[in-house]
Amino acid sequence: MSLLIVIILLALLFDYINGFHDAANSIATIVSTKVLTPFQAVVWAAFFNFVAYFIFQDHAVANTIGKTVHAEYITLGVILAGLLAAIFWNLLTWWFGIPSSSSHTLIGGFAGAALAHAGMGKGFDSVFNVVELGKITQIVAFIFLAPIIGMIISMFITFVTMMRNFWLKIAIILAMAAATFVMFDHFEQNKMTEAVEKFYKVDKLKKAVKKDPTKAVELEEKKALVNKIEPLIYDYDKLGAANIAATVVKDIDATTDAKKLEKALHKADNSTLVWGIMAVIAIFILTYIYAEKIKTPNAYRISEMFKKLQLISSAAFSIGHGGNDAQKVMGIIGAAYVATNPDLYPDVSAALKDLPWVPLACYTAIGLGTMSGGWKIVKTMGTKITKVSALEGVCAESAGSFTLFMTEQMGIPVSTTHTITGAIIGVGASKRLSAVRWGITINLLWAWILTVPVSALVAALCYVFITWLGIA
């Protein structure tokens, strides 16, 4: 129990360090454009980091983190070594002002320690069965995909924003809003189907069938229930969670616990996020109408308009940062409880369900960390890659926040650092390719590439050391 407490404290310490390490992600552009002072910016970012606690309830990213290593190789010693390595690498890169990924540091450390555990315990042949290769491959792919997506979106937003044809600009923004609504509705339906499958323990039964073929009949029955419920999920916006649960009990399966099913569906409901995005888009449109049609536009007025809009885009990115990064630590703490009591907590999702203090503590820690600053990285992100105006800051932060919201809905842990860096490069390249300091960018790319293997190696060495000490 004492080791579990140490791990929880170290995890929250990492979350705190993550906050001040990644503070630059949220505030670099808004500080460089002088919309807010550094102190005002960190308070602003920290507040919206915590607001994410009320928006992201499904813990999709946390569940992914917990699944990167197979359950039989998750021990308290593995988690401890992974955390020590992640903290070391985060502090080292912060000291040198390198905006590396806290996310991939943690994932690399977790995987590296698990590999060392497997190698020392069962021999080298078992090592390649330790990690969930599908999850790891997806995470590694998004080391590169997240900044590319952020860059493409930021370039598109920048081009649209700078259009001279006002009504064409508005039409494109409305089309983007409609596409966003459809895409996030699709995410919601997929997540609700997954929630129903988890509710009826379809995944557990799939694993059980491999050991006990007699479970196949029960598995097919549960799959049939899910298939009958899916049409109700497609009408979720009309019916709501309570009506769907009541209909299931009445017409599909009377043994279903309606309250628990309703709660599971509520957690997958992303309407707060979607309507928040729609509200931001509406604010942008109304602001454009006011600035370009009601008032006579001039350079000063346009600049002041975008300085005000940057407060909104920075807040949105901070929410995405909090929602993405706090969940990674939640996943690690959840994994620690799974390792301690696998019968009570079969997976991270079950642990977080019974431990509501974990999300609250993690969001609080990252918010406090953000308030601590991270000024060295602010300089790199805000000035060294490219100089940004308030308009370009809005475009970069909007693109970055959209990317984070999208990947969170997909349950993919991505780097906020990589995302906003790609977005800043995108706005710089929109002006001209020479506006981007590509030498700095290439150095950052090397840091990104090295983060996972280096943190994995350090974690493996940490595991060997704590095993030698008799801790693991």
Q: What is the pLDDT of residue 57?
A: 80
| pLDDT average per 10 residues of sequence, the chain (472 residues) | 86 84 68 75 84 85 82 86 87 72 81 86 64 80 86 89 85 92 92 90 82 84 90 90 92 90 89 91 85 70 80 89 86 88 81 86 86 57 57 87 92 83 80 56 68 87 87 71
Domain ranges of the chain: 2-468
Please provide the DSSP assignment of 206-275 as one string. Answer: HHHHHH-GGGHHHHHHHHHHHHHHHHHHHTHHHHHHHHHHHHIIIII-TTS-HHHHHHHHHHH--HHHHH
DSSP bridge pairs for 69: 131
User: In sequence order, which residues have a C-beta less than 8 Å from that of residue 196 and are 6 or more positions away?
Assistant: 226, 229, 230, 233, 261, 264, 265
Q: What is the pLDDT of residue 423?
A: 86
Q: What is the pLDDT of residue 297?
A: 66
Q: What is the pLDDT of residue 125?
A: 58
Q: Closest by alpha carbon to 313, among 289, 354, 351, 279?
A: 279
DSSP bridge pairs for 131: 69
Q: What is the pLDDT of residue 278?
A: 93
Q: What is the pLDDT of residue 26?
A: 66
**Residue 250, Cβ density class (10 Å: 0-12 exposed, 13-18 middle, ≥19 buried):** exposed
